[in-house]
């Protein structure tokens, strides 16, 4: 499968625990995004990487959240001291850096997401 993959697909944790999610983007994609989606809402932007550099973070990303993309390939999103309000689907997306047509250049391809439940 050459699409975006995420691991784990589901995570149940107790409040106060730390969790880490992994995203493997499409191999030639140097741009990587994390989004969070809660029930009945659209995805909300969390953070953006271009290669290994984290270039933007949303105000939604509190100091309990940290994301890395150490070698410009896969990325991890860690949540420390989880709260019940962190329960959501965490989506990763990637795209190329190529300009050009709307599909080849602009499309963000989403992974299947990691569904987090904090008890």
Partner 1 sequence: RKEVEQDPGPFNVPEGATVAFNCTYSNSASQSFFWYRQDCRKEPKLLMSVYSSGNEDGRFTAQLNRASQYISLLIRDSKLSDSATYLCVVKFGSWGKLQFGAGTQVVVTP
Site for partner 1, rule CB under 8 A: 31, 33, 35, 40-45, 48, 50, 55-56, 91, 93, 95, 102-103, 106-108, 110-113, 115
Of 4, 33, 18, residue with least CA distance to 86: 18
Closest to partner 1 by CB, 79 vs 91, is 91
Of 63, 67, 66, 36, residue with least CA distance to 49: 67
In the complex, least distance from residue 96 CB atom to partner 1, rounded to whole angstroms: 11
Using the CB atoms, write b or e for 11-47: b if 16+ within 10 Å.
bebeeeeebebebbbbeebbbbbbbbeeeeeebeebb
In the complex, least distance from residue 28 CB atom to partner 1, rounded to whole angstroms: 16
Closest to partner 1 by CB, 16 vs 105, is 105
In the complex, least distance from residue 34 CB atom to partner 1, rounded to whole angstroms: 10
């Amino acid at each position: 499968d050459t699409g975006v993959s995420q691991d784990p697909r589901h995570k149940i944790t107790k409040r106060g625990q730390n969790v880490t999610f992994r995203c493997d983007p499409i191999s030639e994609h140097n741009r990587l995004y994390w989004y969070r989606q809660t029930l009945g809402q659209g995805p909300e932007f969390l953070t953006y990487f271009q290669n290994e550099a984290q270039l933007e973070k949303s105000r939604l990303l509190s100091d309990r959240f940290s994301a890395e993309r150490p070698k410009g390939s896969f990325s991890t999103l860690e949540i420390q001291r989880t709260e019940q309000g962190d329960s959501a689907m965490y989506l990763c997306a990637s795209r190329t850096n190529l300009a050009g047509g709307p599909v080849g250049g602009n499309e963000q391809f989403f992974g299947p997401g990691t569904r987090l439940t904090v008890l």
